[in-house]
Amino acid sequence: MRLTRADKSVLSDWWFTVDRLMFFGLLLLMGAGLVLSLAASPPIAERYDLEAFYFVRRHAALLLPAVVIMFAASTLTPKQIRRTSLVIFLVGTALMIGILFFGVEVKGARRWLQIGSFSLQPSEFVKPAFIVLTAWLFNESQKRKDVPGLELAILLYAVFALLLILQPDFGQTLLISLVWGALFYMAGINMIWIAALVALGAAGLVTAYFLLPHVASRIDRFLDPASGDTYQSDRSLDSFLNGGWFGRGPGEGTVKDVLPDSHTDFIFAVAAEEYGLIACLILLTLFAFIVLRGLSKASQESDGFIRHAVAGLIMLFGLQTLINMAVNVGLLPAKGMTLPFISYGGSSLLAMALTMGFALGLTRKRPMAGRLKHPARAEHETDHAGARGQTA
């Protein structure tokens, strides 16, 4: 079937308005994830007395739903994305509360809801919804003084961060705090507020260090490797040395045989050992291309909500990537965070597809969208939009 601009179908409209380069870049990441899952997961499956390609089959089975979710989310209008995000946030937070009492406990954390053979992690889906709602609230606080946007944005953050801490999941708490803080800054909020929030975050980190032994242990081992077991970090670093520039070859790596999370948290180390630093740099370039293109699209938007929402979603994607890779090369303590579209994990894969689907939907070409050419003109248009009282 040949698509033309004269065709008024949803698919044709989507094809000629979506950022196809970003979309195909994301598809390439999904393909790379399947290849690396094939490399990293068989030893993990055998360790759990499962069929060798158990995790590979599950990963492959989730790729089509992930593409469908990303496509469906990218067909939504900005108003539909806001409303969808509100529903996801309300349902997701309710599930996160329920999980504290009825969730599956894994390694001392309650983050998952067991649905048959599938484990659902609601916090993964709440993240993009939280970013979209926060962006809208910050933008409303700038345009309309009668809307308590700032107060509601702070409330949303407090609720989400508290639920993550209670699980506990400090890695995700750090991630959403960084993105929320960046949106707070982008919204032009008074610097006194920003300084207060930075001080509050530092106080929270210090409190966690002194009150939670596992947090203190990770930080201590990172700062002083001799103070504890650094086996996983050491083996991950060894994989980059063993792989060299071109790798040992598919299936020839050994790090996946000794690391318990080689198919999730440390899949980048498996890629380094088997495919080499060249492959890792190509993968890094692909991630960087998507992030830079997304931020460039955000900077061209005159609508404050779209500009903030796209920037937040792309930062969520980029910072999660950066944290995972930094852990693999020993620049950060282990945090249990997946590499987007690459690591095994159904909730992570589907939620990241939703995240980037929202980003694609918000950056689609829209008639009379008023693409940003001159900042002064954009501010003038935004003021007029606010005067007309545009709401969700």
pLDDT digits 0-9 by tens, 240-262:
888 889 888 888 888 888 887 78
d(CA 195, CA 27): 40
CB 278 within 8 A of CB 348: no
At what angle are helices 122-143 and 170-186 packed, to 10 degrees?
20
Residue 295, CA atoms < 13 Å, CB-side half-sphere = 13
Give the lowest-confidence range in 89-103, 111-125, 131-145, 294-308. Answer: 111-125
Strand segments (E) across 197-279: none
Q: Which range scores top for mean pLDDT: 8-22, 53-67, 184-198? A: 53-67
d(CA 156, CA 176): 11
d(CA 262, CA 43): 9
| Degrees, nearest 5: CA angle 356-172-304 | 45
- Other CB atoms within 10 A of residue 200 CB: 11
The predicted structure's pLDDT at residue 388: 45
Which of these, 288, 295, 233, 222, lies nearest to 260 by C-alpha position?
A: 233
Tokens representing residue 296 in the block: 């460039």
Answer with the residue of higher pLDDT: 286 or 233.
Answer: 286
- Whether 18 shows a pLDDT value over 70: the answer reads yes
The predicted structure's pLDDT at residue 176: 93
d(CA 346, CA 324): 17
State pTM to two decimals. 0.86
Tokens representing residue 232 in the block: 């996983």
Question: pLDDT tier at 376 (50, 70, 90 boundaries)?
Answer: very low
Which of these, 347, 301, 322, lies nearest to 122 by C-alpha position?
A: 347
